[in-house]
Each structure stands twice: as C-alpha cells, then as structure tokens.
Amino acid sequence: MPPPSHVLIVGGGLCGPALAIALSRHRIRSTILELRPQAGNNGGAIMLAPNALRVLDKVIGVDEEIKGEGFGLDKIDFFWEDGLRVGGITMEDGGYGALRIQRTKLHRTLLDLCERDDRVEIKYGSKFVRIVEDEEGVTAYIEGGEAIRGDILIGADGIHSKVRAHVLGDRAPVPTYSGMVGIGGTLPRSSIILPEGMTYPSFIYTPRGMIMVMPTDPEGQAIGWAASLADPHERSRKGWLEYQNSGQAARDIKESYAGIRHEPIRSIMDNMVEEEQARVWAPYEIPDLSTWHTKRVCLIGDAAHAIPPSGGQGAGQAFEDAGFMARLLSAAPPSSSSPPASSTTTLPEQATATTEPKSYDELFAHFEKVRKARFEHVRELTKVSGNSRHGSPTWTGTMVRKYGMWAYFHLVKGGYYTDHALMGYDVMDESVEY
C-alpha cells in the first residue's frame, strides 16, 4: 500500500493544520475542511512541554517558527501563598524546554504555513453532512451539495467531533461538562506585585486552590494567570461566552479569592478589569472510545481522547497524534506521480516499514494501539495535576497539604520533580512496523 495521494482532514484548529504540514513534508496532499467561515481568534495561552516541541521540530517542522512567539521556560516553581517554596517541576528534557504561547499566535503560524503550501487547501465554511467510504476511498459531502474525494479522512474536529458519530454510530458518546470552569487572563507585569524570593513562572497554592502565574510573551512582560472554580451549572456555547463577556466570571473568581491577602494574588485580583481581562474555558470530557477508526476514517486529538487542560498536555497530545499519523502514512516510498514540493523545506528522514500494510484499517489499528497506551500515562498525570489545584476546606487539611508537598519535593525529589516518561517522549521512537 503506497502513501495516500490525498488526505481529507476535518478540523482546522491546531491538530488538523499540524497534520497537513507534516504530510506535505512527505509530498502528501491534503484538504482541511473547517466548519467556521474564517480562522478563529479565541483561546488564551497554552503550554507546549518538551514532548510537544520535540514533535513540532522533528516531524512537523515548525519549531523555529514559534520559538520567538512565546515565553521559553525550563522549570516551574511551586509556592505557597505566604511565599514558601514547596517544590517545583523540571520543564526541560533532551535539549527541549517548554513554551508558553498564546493559542492564537500558534494557530496563526500553522495556518500561515498551510496557506503558503501548494499541497494544502483549507476550505472554510465546510459543514459536512455525511461521509461515505468505499473500497477505493472516502467522500465527504458538504452542506450545499459539494462532494470532496480523498483516499482517507482524518477527524481532527475536537471534543464535539462530528466525525466521531460516523466512526461509532449510535455508540458515539455525548461530551459531558466536567463541573470545573477555568478562568484566566493576562496583565502587564508592572501591575503585579511579586514578593522577593518568588519567581515567574509559578504555581501558587492557597486554601482556595491553585493559581498558575507565568509570562506569555518572549520578553516576559505579559503575565498570564489561570485558576479553576467548581461550577455545577453547565451552559451552552453562547451561555459560556455571556458568562465571560458580562464580567461575571471575573467577579466569581475575585469573590473566591477575596480572603487571600498575599501577593501576587492580591494585585492580580485587584487589577483585573472584569469585562475585559478574564477568559473562560469549560472543560468537557468523553469516556474511552471502543475504537478510533473505520476502514478509511480515523480520529485524532480531542476527537479521540479529550483531556482536561490541568496537565498542560492537550495540544501536546494532539501534535503527537499528528506526528505519528504522518509517519505512518508516509512509511512506504512516495509514488512518482507526487506533485513537486512547494517549498525548500528539508524533508525529515523517511520512515520505512519492512512489511507493507494490507490496508488503512491495519494502519489505523496500529496508530490506535500505540497512541492509546501513551494517552493512558498522560491521563494519569493530568488527574494528579487536576486534583492538586483544588483547595482544602479545613485548616488542618491545608497544613497537611502544604508541608506534605514540601516534604515530598525537598526530601524525596531533591527540590524538583522530573517526568522523563512524559516529557522525554519522542514519536520518532515509535515503530511504524505492524
């Protein structure tokens, strides 16, 4: 089975364009079908850990384009609200650090690369109504009557994926609201009082919960903050936007942390402009799926395995999926009929399989097996990270947590925790033989 000549990708967020760029480096053409009429401009800052930057560099090839767009870091310190440093985590592995970057900047970089690439077409305003598979390929039927043909279709259309319904039929789960809402924003560094001994980036723990504080620009002058609140009230997409734009989300987070008088939390809360400087994201979840694929269609990213943002791995897992899928699809030598390259970018080392697969079904099954195993480790980390963000209702619980963290990090971990299995992961090490 040679590589596909044309791949349909549903979803123009981060994952879909990343896959298209990686496929183009192997001379594989793709068409991205994006529901929105134009590129979105939403989302706050996201973390790209070393594993994410590694795949962006080695497989997708955009590491250099984004390095200057965000704040580079090699560690995150953990402080208690009173300034006690209780521990920290290393954010460097194998020569790769981490990057805190505005999602819009990262997204725009990926889209710019796609728009300059002759092998990538983005079709905005494409609402597909059905997918039809046959022995020779797959057809996506778009609202309005257009039919687009490809060899395979990849569903990178996020937590509320429509492609998932094609793959699973009546078994497709409906995403459920997690019950925790994230609220965050950005303030000028000059408006935040940082006590002596405390540093950026940092996680600051309080009886009310944890607040993440870290720069989002290369110079470190724009300081992003984020916290979580328990909120049992699920809203519609419009409702969440109203909750943000009305300033109610900002008022709720201010009320929650009203009793915290220590800096920098106090100046963050006091200097927040309610209707302008608090963004909202409401994490949704899906249960484990029985399968991610059919014979010609496969899910990747949040469409396959949505993960809460507390572990800082949502985008990273999507990029790992895109990178590994591109390696698998390019594993056989490209056909001589492939169109000429549209840029002078050096191709990554060609992945080759000693035994050619018999079908895309087998290729997708191998992808699913490898990526499910990886996702399990990441999900466990995310659970631990998410639980650590919650506050304690009692003084005793707060003290146990505070000094328990100090003892663990200083007496057991030597001050900083390192997770090589998470951050040292490299999709280039995964086998493309199956």
173 with 222, same domain: the answer is no
Q: Determine, yes or no, domain membership for 241.
A: yes
246 with 122, same domain: the answer is no
Predicted confidence (pLDDT) at residue 255 exceeds the cutoff of 70: yes
Predicted confidence (pLDDT) at residue 358 exceeds the cutoff of 80: no
Exposure string over 135-169, b if 16+ CB within 10 A, otherwise e: eebbbbebeeeeebebbbbbbbbbbebbbbbbbbe
**What is the mean predicted confidence (pLDDT) over 112-129?**
96
Contact 42, 374 (CB under 8 A): no
pLDDT band at 131 (very low <50, low <70, confident <90, very high): very high
Predicted confidence (pLDDT) at residue 343 exceeds the cutoff of 60: no
Choose between 346 and 368: higher pLDDT: 368
293 with 258, same domain: the answer is no
118 with 23, same domain: the answer is yes
Domain count, the chain: 2
231 with 373, same domain: the answer is no
Q: Where are the beta strands (DSSP E) in 120-238?
A: 120-124, 128-133, 138-142, 147-150, 152-155, 176-177, 180-188, 202-206, 209-215, 222-230
Instruction: Report the alpha-carbon distance of residue 202 to residue 85 in Å, rounded.
Output: 10
Q: What is the pLDDT of residues 360-372, one digit of tens each?
A: 999 999 999 999 9
308 with 270, same domain: the answer is no
Q: What is the pLDDT of residues 288-301, one digit of tens each?
A: 999 999 999 999 99
346 with 257, same domain: the answer is no
169 with 298, same domain: the answer is yes
Predicted confidence (pLDDT) at residue 201 exceeds the cutoff of 70: yes
Predicted confidence (pLDDT) at residue 420 exceeds the cutoff of 70: yes
271 with 312, same domain: the answer is no
Domain of residue 277: give its range: 180-281
Instruction: Report the alpha-carbon distance of residue 275 to residue 58 in Å, rounded.
Output: 41
What pTM value is reported for the model?
0.90
Q: What are phi and psi of 284, to 5 degrees?
A: -115, 160
Q: Determine, yes or no, domain membership for 111.
A: yes
- Predicted local confidence at residue 40, as pLDDT: 72
348 with 215, same domain: the answer is no
Predicted confidence (pLDDT) at residue 43 exceeds the cutoff of 80: no
Predicted confidence (pLDDT) at residue 398 exceeds the cutoff of 90: no
pLDDT band at 384 (very low <50, low <70, confident <90, very high): low
Instruction: Report the alpha-carbon distance of residue 28 to residue 22 in Å, rounded.
Output: 9
370 with 249, same domain: the answer is no
pLDDT band at 351 (very low <50, low <70, confident <90, very high): low
